[in-house]
Structure 1
Amino acid sequence: MKTYIAKSLLQVIPVLLIVSLIVFILVRVTGDPVALMLPETATAEDRAVLTQALGLDQPLYTQYIKFIGSALQGDFGTSFRYGESALPLVLERLPASFELAVAAMIFAVIIAVPLGVISAVKRNTFMDLIISSLSVVGKAMPNFWMGIMLILLFSVMLGMLPVSGRGGMEHLILPAFTLGVGLSAQMTRLIRSSMLDILNQDYIRTARSKGIFEIVVIGKHAFRNGLIPVVTIMSLQFTSLIGGTLITETVFAWPGLGQLLVVAVNTHDMAIVQAAVFVIALIVVISNILTDIVYRLLDPRIKYN
């Protein structure tokens, strides 16, 4: 296991290099940052001076080599919008995104686990039909629409919760619920499917034939083995929540990484885009390694070479 983790950590290097290369090229071929940074009244001389100052007059490969050298030192450039180093700005927004992602994931797990297990145990019953229908509806509702509806209901009409911003727990409820509903719907269906496969296994029938209580069969023998695909989707969804909650963070004015990335893309702030994508890629890679470790803890039969 230690050897596998060491090899996985070494694989982080080429992955991040490929990600940095793709982002570096895409950012530079999608527009002219000099035109965005200078006013319309700027002269050709002003453009030439700024182009040279940013190093944009050099070949792309030279720019990339310098970019990698600076990135290894934690320098992704200076944001022309904020006038500060890009990486600290990204790291400053990261805790807010983590807070929202963790809250949404906790909400999704609390809802999805019992509903998924009940739906599998009560297969083809009225209860299963209700849970399956709710899962479909929850997955079909767009996040931005649900967020707006929740604001209108709980903030505008009832005045119970704040409309936007980050503060206490009351500010977290609506955005976390908005993100968690769609995720819980997806996890519920996955847990149901996984549990149905497990409940048809021979060792489950053997446990039941021995007279073991049904709650022990479900909780100890079936549920733990049915968690592996759930852990996979949780890992994938959590990393997407970190960098992909663009619409939800915008609707609720949540000061997270997603909102910062949207503004950076709209203003063509290359330094912010590069730093944000680099950090998100690192989180994804580390999350995948942790997921493999959890697999091993859930099922000791899994071996890594």
Structure 2
Amino acid sequence: MLTYLRKRVVTSLLPLLVVLFGVFFLARLTGDPTNLYLPVSATPDQRAEFAAEHGLDQPVLKQMVDYLWGILHLDFGESLRTGESAADMALRAFPATLQLAFCTMLLAILGAVTIGCWAAYRPNSLADRAASLLSMTAASIPDFWFAIMGIWIFAVTLGWLPTSGTSSPLAWVLPIATLLIRPLGVLTQVVRGAMVSALSAPYVRLARSKGAGDLRVVTHHALRNASAPSLTVAGDLAVGLINGAVVVEVIFGWPGIGKLMIDSILQRDFAVLQACVLLTAISIFILNIFIDACYALLDARVRETAKV
């Protein structure tokens, strides 16, 4: 088990390093922040002073070395907009994104397991076909379209739900529903397919011959063996939620790290953007390692392969 996890950590470090260097260079392609933060009437001396104050007058390689040195000392610099610590701003916004992603993924898993098991228990029945149709439709709907339709129907037309903020529980409904629709559809299809295979396996027929009830067969025998492929897809979807929450956060004014990242790009706040991207990448790295550990616990073949 430890050997497998150690290999996964080593192989996952390379993408993290690529993100580390990539965000530094790509952030600087957005333009010179001097033109954004100083008025048009600023003198050359004022521009030079601003650039020197924020280290923008240094060669790019020197800026990169300072950036890496700061990361080693957990110093991500200060925001050009507010003068606050970039790390503090990213850490303050990140819990809102995690809350949104966690609630969405929890509802997606519960819904997919319930609908997928129900559909797989009677394959090719009317219920199975209805569940498959709805899940495929849900998996195909773009997030932004669902968000716009949700605002138009439930906020503008009916006036039931707010369009932004986190001030009330009702403000969570549209963002979670928008993020939920696609993971629920994809995961339902995966759970349904895995359960159909598991329910036709010999060990399930053996359990039935020993008098096991339908509920026990589904929950204690088939679902455990169907959980391995479902866990892999759920992990990918969870990673996608953290990354894909950007669109939802911007549309609904959700104060998460995705909205902060977009604001930093528009305002060329390099330090905050770098802190947001790196924090997101590290969280995805940790999430992938956790999913790999769960997968190894569920499937002994994975652990044996790691020993080779």
TM more than 0.5: yes
Asked if structure 2 preserves the Cα contact closer than 8 Å seen for 1:96 and 1:257, the reply is: yes
Distance 1:30 1:156, change over 3 A: closer
2:276 equivalent to 1:276: yes
Asked if structure 2 preserves the Cα contact closer than 8 Å seen for 1:195 and 1:222, the reply is: yes
Distance 1:70 1:259, change over 3 A: same
Please give the alpha-carbon distance, in whole angstroms, between the structure 2 residues aligned to 1:65 and 1:13. 19
Structure 2 length-normalised TM? 0.90
Asked if structure 2 preserves the Cα contact closer than 8 Å seen for 1:242 and 1:257, the reply is: no
Please give the alpha-carbon distance, in whole angstroms, between the structure 1 residues aligned to 2:257 and 2:95. 9
2:133 equivalent to 1:137: no
Q: Provide the residue aligned with 1:94 in structure 2.
A: 94
Asked if structure 1 preserves the Cα contact closer than 8 Å seen for 2:5 and 2:292, the reply is: no
Q: Provide the residue aligned with 1:181 in structure 2.
A: 181
2:156 equivalent to 1:156: yes
The one-letter amino acid of 1:76's match is: F
Q: 1:173-199, CA deviations, whole angstroms, 9 ceiling, x for partnerless residues?
A: 221112111110111111112222323
Structure 1 unmatched ranges of 5 or more: none
1:41 match: secondary structure: coil
The one-letter amino acid of 2:278's match is: F
Offset at residue 6 of structure 1 (A): 4.8
Please give the alpha-carbon distance, in whole angstroms, between the structure 2 residues aligned to 1:26 and 1:157. 41
Please give the alpha-carbon distance, in whole angstroms, between the structure 2 residues aligned to 1:40 and 1:235. 48
> Which of 209-218 and 174-183 deviates more?
209-218
Superposed, 1:63-142 pairs within 5 Å as 63-142=63-142
Offset at residue 228 of structure 1 (A): 1.4
Structure 1 length-normalised TM? 0.91
Please give the alpha-carbon distance, in whole angstroms, between the structure 2 residues aligned to 1:151 and 1:72. 44
Q: Which runs of 4+ in 1 moved over 6 A?
A: none
Asked if structure 2 preserves the Cα contact closer than 8 Å seen for 1:107 and 1:176, the reply is: no
2:56 equivalent to 1:56: yes
Q: 1:212-243, CA deviations, whole angstroms, 9 ceiling, x for partnerless residues?
A: 32322222111111111221222222222223
Please give the alpha-carbon distance, in whole angstroms, between the structure 1 residues aligned to 2:83 and 2:62. 24
Q: Provide the residue aligned with 1:264 in structure 2.
A: 264
Distance 1:12 1:295, change over 3 A: closer
CA RMSD of aligned residues (A): 2.2
**Number of equivalences:** 305
Offset at residue 99 of structure 1 (A): 1.0
Q: Provide the residue aligned with 1:214 in structure 2.
A: 214
Please give the alpha-carbon distance, in whole angstroms, between the structure 1 residues aligned to 2:177 and 2:249. 12
Q: Percent identity?
A: 38
Q: Provide the residue aligned with 2:205 in structure 1.
A: 205
Q: Provide the residue aligned with 2:22 in structure 1.
A: 22
Q: Provide the residue aligned with 2:246 in structure 1.
A: 246
Asked if structure 2 preserves the Cα contact closer than 8 Å seen for 1:87 and 1:275, the reply is: yes
Q: Provide the residue aligned with 2:31 in structure 1.
A: 31
Offset at residue 12 of structure 1 (A): 6.0
Q: 1:18-75, CA deviations, whole angstroms, 9 ceiling, x for partnerless residues?
A: 3211111111234222222322222233332333333233332222111111112222
1:227 match: secondary structure: helix
Please give the alpha-carbon distance, in whole angstroms, between the structure 2 residues aligned to 1:267 and 1:53. 17
Q: 1:257-294, CA deviations, whole angstroms, 9 ceiling, x for partnerless residues?
A: 11111111122221111111100110111001111121
Asked if structure 2 preserves the Cα contact closer than 8 Å seen for 1:161 and 1:171, the reply is: yes
Distance 1:117 1:5, change over 3 A: same
Please give the alpha-carbon distance, in whole angstroms, between the structure 2 residues aligned to 1:156 and 1:122. 41
Please give the alpha-carbon distance, in whole angstroms, between the structure 1 residues aligned to 2:252 and 2:54. 35
> Which of 118-127 and 181-190 deviates more?
118-127
> Which of 266-275 and 91-100 deviates more?
266-275
Q: 1:103-156, CA deviations, whole angstroms, 9 ceiling, x for partnerless residues?
A: 111221222111111222221121111111111221222222222332333333
Please give the alpha-carbon distance, in whole angstroms, between the structure 2 residues aligned to 1:29 and 1:157. 41
1:133 match: secondary structure: helix
Please give the alpha-carbon distance, in whole angstroms, between the structure 2 residues aligned to 1:202 and 1:142. 40
> Which of 155-164 and 61-70 deviates more?
155-164
Asked if structure 1 preserves the Cα contact closer than 8 Å seen for 2:30 and 2:265, the reply is: no
Structure 2 unmatched ranges of 5 or more: none
2:166 equivalent to 1:166: yes
